[in-house]
Structure 1
Amino acid sequence: MELPWFKKGTIYQIYPRSFNDSNDDGIGDLRGIIEKLDYLQSLNVDILWLSPIFSSPNDDNGYDISDYCAIMPEFGTMKDFEELLQKTHDNGMKLILDLVANHCSDEHIWFEEAKKSKDNPYRDYFHWEKPSEGGGPPNNWKSFFGGSAWEYDSASGEYYLHLFTRKQPDLNWENPKVREEIYNAMRFWLDKGVDGFRMDVIPLISKREGYPNAPNVGFRKIIEDVYANGPRLHEFLKEMNEKVISHYDAFSLAEGVGINHENASLYIDYDRKELDMLYHFDILECTIVNGKFEEASSFDLTNMKGIFKRWRDAVHKKGWLANAMGNHDFARMVSRFGNDTEYWSKSAKMLLIMQATQNGTLNIYQGDEIGMTNVALDSIDEVRDVQSLNFYKENTETKRYSNELALQMINKEGRDNARTPMQWNDEINGGFSKAYPWLKVNPNYKEINIAKQENDSDSVLNFYRNLLKIRKQHDVFVYGDFEELEFNNPDLYIYKKMYGTKKIIVLLNFSTTTHVANLNEEVKELINNYDDLILKKGFIELMPYQGVVLEL
């Protein structure tokens, strides 16, 4: 049986605002992406995912949409998009868009109409509730970005629901007209030829009847049990697939917020015909206990190994995962899970080896292919992320942390870390733009940039290219059955994979110490992030942050 094209592919996420600025206004744009298509093709990626490019007032950098069928003017025109789509296809790649269907912008015509009166036809496009008996919000729900999830509308005397910023009112999916509006927007882009959608916070679209109060538990648990996995969610997803996706050669990728390994199959089980795949948050949040800027824990390799195993076992032969370790919402991968100082290059390469040899569709975020790191913003005036700004504002009022510590926390986990402009070369602003960019460029751009790595055979960039090329040639990377070795070792991640007649062993050292691992089989080297491979009778010696793939 021929497997779906997207399974073996590699997705490359582009954050358009920070990718490449073609007109030197400080903001990345569609023509900037067109200029770099040859570069993207050279990476051996297969699918480009664009974070939102639709019309938006940018309260949350495009995740607040004011028109689902129009291009944000600062990104370009519809003609620019159509050229980008055609040239992407001409270069042998696919293109998917970011669908934000849980909420829109308060500047969307739907919401502007809804505010006019309680009997306006668009009123029921959103969630409106009367104040509580005490005169406050209808319940105790908190926004993902801090504060109440309800905003008071003085004109009507009611509150509207916004699980994100107050300028992102949640859509009422109980209303079939809302669902058809979203489906029509999807058809609009699919008819143009896009190859699918990454679906932002899609598990949140079905709300629980009566809006019950959230229990006094950690925020992650509230997301799972109160905000996500609502009573009609799977009905809506089946309908979306039946009415839209199934009619095109396209796929759906869910952002799996609120989904755990126990209920994942409800979303992606092949027989249920809901979503094609999802990426989960257990890896992305493995150092976050309750939520960003709250209690945090240090990176624990054994915990990460357990997460990979639980999810692999949960969906094995019943569904498909996208394999993501970084995106626009999280700090840089090498700064979180690797060593971004002494072993920056080695650990960046080793992390890719681990990610590329896990089952599923590989998902790479822009800049990770050159090992871009977290940025240290010098003051709150340099912060652009609404989540970080809201945290800092709330902390100023509560004085829970000093301002200095609050900024340190933002620099460690804040979303701006992943959104700093791409570092193309060592020229002004990293070659991203001649104008001062919308967000500060990481000052290390003179050391970490594409031009510097382009012709260096030992660079992180060329290691990515080579590894992705090898991955395309070996199905065992994508589909193989796992055998874990030394599972409880806190520094080493070792596993065998088997698929058909192919068998490989992956050995990863997550420490600054040299380790010895048992190896009693004849092997052939496939991938190594060091020049040397120290093999002796019965064991292999692994240098700090060494990653090796051996064919058995």
Structure 2
Amino acid sequence: MTHKAWWKESVVYQIYPRSFNDSNGDGIGDIQGIIEKLDYLKDLGVDVIWLSPVYQSPNDDNGYDISDYQAIMDEFGTMEDWEELLDEMHKRDLKLIMDLVVNHSSDEHKWFEESRKSKDNPYRDYYIWRPGKDGKEPNNWGSTFSGSAWEYDENTDEYYLHLFSKKQPDLNWENPKLRQEVYDMMKWWLDKGIDGFRMDVINFISKVPGLPDAPNPEGKKYASGSKYFMNGPRIHEFLHEMYEEALADYDVMTVGEMPGVNVEEAKKYTDPERKELQMVFQFEHMDLDSGPNGKWDLKPLDLRDLKTSISRWQTGLHGVGWNSLYLNNHDQPRIVSRFGNDKEYRVISAKMLGTFLHMLQGTPYIYQGEEIGMTNIKFDSIDDYKDIEILNMYKEKVEEGNEDPAKVMESIYVKGRDNARTPIQWDASENAGFTTGEPWIKVNPNYKEINAEQAVADEDSIYHYYRQLIQLRKKHELIVYGDYELILPEHDKIYAYTRSFEGEKLLVVTNFSEEEVEFNLPENVDFEAKEKLISNYPDADDNYQAFTLRPYEARVYKGV
């Protein structure tokens, strides 16, 4: 039985507000800037806007360190601006989902300011405090942003846990009062009329009791404690309680960002019978071009690994939960530079990647600038980078570890989060039309060739191709709900699959290389084409059984 829902049939567009559009010339994108561009988003055809955090924040981690969950950051505008944004979106039948960041707050949140005052403060247990051990941190966990996950606080002679920056202390979800505060805050936003939440690292909120030392076979100064806080012992209990206490009475969309989640866990998170979440963001396919030493250890993508990963999720969640489909976001490099070719085949390969993604089962997410094929950035100096993760890693590897700066910069060029955070390239005017002031982070110099104005004017652009992909999804339930089946699993250049639903079938064939390759429909695949739905080379013919795929070519046929 297929459970149909509006959020399954939607296409989501993520806005990273700082880099989207600046209306007042201070160099920082803002809420009025988003309002100015709503018609552009409506014309693109998306249904839902996911807004990265716009709450009050000292901006240690670009708004993911929240000091007041019920106020708007001054740089972005006022609550009145935000209310106008919601109103203008709803007028255009666009839905708004907000970021929910409740694994941690800012250390400037009033809860934490109280919590650190004394051990018997009523807010003390809103956070995770521990005494030191043998003159050192309470355990050996490392922060995601380098260094220890513990920060010493002189005032009470104890340490607090921060899995991210030391200005992002972890909230203590073991405390029922804290949980109730979170649920009340969520309902406050839902009552304002928002349409759901994207939940930041939500599978980190349950920690293993006792917070034991992590295995450290390499004898590093700090070890990854992830097995003690990812998908922890009470996570399903907490998410079910959140559903019952905050979400049950609203028809909204929920998606949980969950590093380290596997298919079996994700089934539990997204099974509607369990009443937890509707979708998860998993990272398995985003780690395929990382070596054994993690994100900054570069290795080329093996397409067979991508097929194995995507197929595992497509078949694993089918009929139980639901997939989030994404290749870009504010934490990932630009996909056309990563899995495509951002030079000679930028337009063609961006269209191919879009086709590959939007024809899968799940809810597709488009990250700002993806629809015009924005690319990675190579800043000349580390001083041009703003991201705390990049700066901490560079300091650790180059200044403290004496690694070759050129090698470290190469990793940043390929994987750094600031690749996704350069301002949106609206037109060919100064600063790409993003601001009349000095942008908070430099604009990619290729904006004169790559910008939205040019893309909207060119019928053959990536932008118009994405419009087509979105329209096809609205027209054909087969694309939303159909079963997925991989074909040619061992081919190292072609990714091809079928989708089947209520007697209809789809054949999707994509070439992930810049070489010409021969495609032959395997004899055991039962497919008869009726029409070509879309292709990124306009002269692709109707022969679906055997053809030569050109560099980064994509073809989709509908049949039975």
Superposed pair shares fold, TM > 0.5: yes
Q: Contact conserved, 1:20 with 1:432, CA < 8 A, in 2?
A: yes
Aligned to 1:206: 206
**One-letter amino acid of the structure 2 residue matched with residue 36 of structure 1:** K
For 2:290, what is the secondary structure of its paired residue? coil
Query: For 2:235 and 2:120, how far apart are their aligned partners in 1?
Result: 27
**One-letter amino acid of the structure 2 residue matched with residue 181 of structure 1:** E
Matching residue within 534, 537, 551 for 1:544: 551
For 1:263, what is the secondary structure of its paired residue? helix
CA RMSD of aligned residues (A): 1.6
Deviates more, 1:420-429 or 1:285-294: 285-294
Aligned to 1:45: 46
1:319 aligns with 2:330: no
C-alpha change, 1:480 and 1:249, in structure 2 (3 Å) is same
Deviates more, 1:65-74 or 1:284-293: 284-293
Aligned to 2:194: 194
**One-letter amino acid of the structure 1 residue matched with residue 329 of structure 2:** N
**One-letter amino acid of the structure 2 residue matched with residue 91 of structure 1:** R
C-alpha change, 1:85 and 1:167, in structure 2 (3 Å) is same
**One-letter amino acid of the structure 2 residue matched with residue 526 of structure 1:** L
C-alpha change, 1:277 and 1:323, in structure 2 (3 Å) is same
Aligned to 1:163: 163
Q: Deviations over 1:129-154 (max 9, x none)?
A: 11112x11111100000000000011
**One-letter amino acid of the structure 2 residue matched with residue 175 of structure 1:** N
Q: Contact conserved, 1:293 with 1:410, CA < 8 A, in 2?
A: no
Matching residue within 489, 497, 500 for 2:499: 497
Query: For 2:530 and 2:252, how far apart are their aligned partners in 1?
Result: 39
C-alpha change, 1:386 and 1:290, in structure 2 (3 Å) is farther
Map of 1:408-487 to 2, 5 A cutoff? 408-487=410-489
Query: For 1:29 and 1:165, how far apart are their aligned partners in 2?
Result: 24
Aligned to 2:65: 64
Q: Deviations over 1:333-366 (max 9, x none)?
A: 1111111111110000000001101110111111
Following superposition, the deviation at residue 397 of structure 1 comes to: 3.5
Deviates more, 1:349-358 or 1:258-267: 258-267
Aligned to 1:524: 531
Query: For 2:428 and 2:544, how far apart are their aligned partners in 1?
Result: 46
**One-letter amino acid of the structure 2 residue matched with residue 531 of structure 1:** P
Q: Contact conserved, 1:534 with 1:542, CA < 8 A, in 2?
A: no
Query: For 1:486 and 1:366, how far apart are their aligned partners in 2?
Result: 32
For 2:555, what is the secondary structure of its paired residue? strand
C-alpha change, 1:522 and 1:294, in structure 2 (3 Å) is closer
Deviates more, 1:307-316 or 1:367-376: 307-316
For 2:532, what is the secondary structure of its paired residue? strand
Aligned to 2:56: 55
For 1:247, what is the secondary structure of its paired residue? coil
Q: Deviations over 1:189-228 (max 9, x none)?
A: 1000000000000000011111011113699x95652221
Aligned to 1:402: 404
Query: For 2:10 and 2:361, how far apart are their aligned partners in 1?
Result: 12
Query: For 1:139 and 1:394, how far apart are their aligned partners in 2?
Result: 20
Map of 1:73-222 to 2, 5 A cutoff? 73-133=74-134, 135-216=135-216, 222=224
Aligned to 1:31: 32
Work out the percentage of aligned pairs sharing the same amino acid: 51
Aligned to 1:287: 289
Mark the runs of 5 or more structure 2 residues left unpaired by the alignment. none
Q: Contact conserved, 1:328 with 1:365, CA < 8 A, in 2?
A: yes
Q: Contact conserved, 2:21 with 2:30, CA < 8 A, in 1?
A: yes
Query: For 2:44 and 2:130, how far apart are their aligned partners in 1?
Result: 50
C-alpha change, 1:511 and 1:537, in structure 2 (3 Å) is closer
For 2:100, what is the secondary structure of its paired residue? strand
**One-letter amino acid of the structure 1 residue matched with residue 476 of structure 2:** H
Aligned to 1:15: 16
Query: For 2:73 and 2:131, how far apart are their aligned partners in 1?
Result: 34
**One-letter amino acid of the structure 2 residue matched with residue 136 of structure 1:** K
For 1:203, what is the secondary structure of its paired residue? helix
Mark the runs of 5 or more structure 1 residues left unpaired by the alignment. none
**One-letter amino acid of the structure 2 residue matched with residue 190 of structure 1:** L
1:350 aligns with 2:352: yes
C-alpha change, 1:293 and 1:551, in structure 2 (3 Å) is closer
Following superposition, the deviation at residue 408 of structure 1 comes to: 1.9
C-alpha change, 1:223 and 1:89, in structure 2 (3 Å) is farther
Following superposition, the deviation at residue 291 of structure 1 comes to: 6.3
Query: For 1:223 and 1:338, how far apart are their aligned partners in 2?
Result: 34
Following superposition, the deviation at residue 537 of structure 1 comes to: 8.7
Matching residue within 267, 274, 277 for 1:275: 277
C-alpha change, 1:527 and 1:291, in structure 2 (3 Å) is farther
Query: For 1:291 and 1:65, how far apart are their aligned partners in 2?
Result: 31
Q: When the two structures are superposed, what TM-score results if normalisation uses the length of structure 2?
A: 0.96
**One-letter amino acid of the structure 2 residue matched with residue 319 of structure 1:** G
**One-letter amino acid of the structure 2 residue matched with residue 551 of structure 1:** K
**One-letter amino acid of the structure 1 residue matched with residue 97 of structure 2:** I
C-alpha change, 1:499 and 1:293, in structure 2 (3 Å) is closer
Following superposition, the deviation at residue 536 of structure 1 comes to: 5.3
**One-letter amino acid of the structure 2 residue matched with residue 488 of structure 1:** E
Following superposition, the deviation at residue 400 of structure 1 comes to: 4.6
Q: Contact conserved, 1:293 with 1:391, CA < 8 A, in 2?
A: no
Q: Contact conserved, 1:534 with 1:541, CA < 8 A, in 2?
A: no
C-alpha change, 1:367 and 1:113, in structure 2 (3 Å) is same
1:366 aligns with 2:373: no
Matching residue within 256, 273, 282 for 1:254: 256
**One-letter amino acid of the structure 2 residue matched with residue 490 of structure 1:** D
Deviates more, 1:287-296 or 1:165-174: 287-296
Q: Deviations over 1:150-169 (max 9, x none)?
A: 00011211110000000000
Query: For 1:537 and 1:90, how far apart are their aligned partners in 2?
Result: 43
Following superposition, the deviation at residue 535 of structure 1 comes to: 5.2
**One-letter amino acid of the structure 2 residue matched with residue 201 of structure 1:** V
Query: For 2:438 and 2:482, how far apart are their aligned partners in 1?
Result: 47
Query: For 1:63 and 1:497, how far apart are their aligned partners in 2?
Result: 38
Following superposition, the deviation at residue 393 of structure 1 comes to: 1.0
**One-letter amino acid of the structure 2 residue matched with residue 448 of structure 1:** I
For 1:345, what is the secondary structure of its paired residue? helix
Deviates more, 1:536-545 or 1:503-512: 536-545
C-alpha change, 1:538 and 1:255, in structure 2 (3 Å) is closer
For 1:264, what is the secondary structure of its paired residue? helix
Deviates more, 1:18-27 or 1:178-187: 178-187
Following superposition, the deviation at residue 281 of structure 1 comes to: 0.4
Query: For 1:281 and 1:543, how far apart are their aligned partners in 2?
Result: 30
Q: Deviations over 1:27-76 (max 9, x none)?
A: 00000000000001011101000000000000000000000000001100
Q: How many residues align?
A: 550
**One-letter amino acid of the structure 2 residue matched with residue 106 of structure 1:** D
Deviates more, 1:527-536 or 1:196-205: 527-536
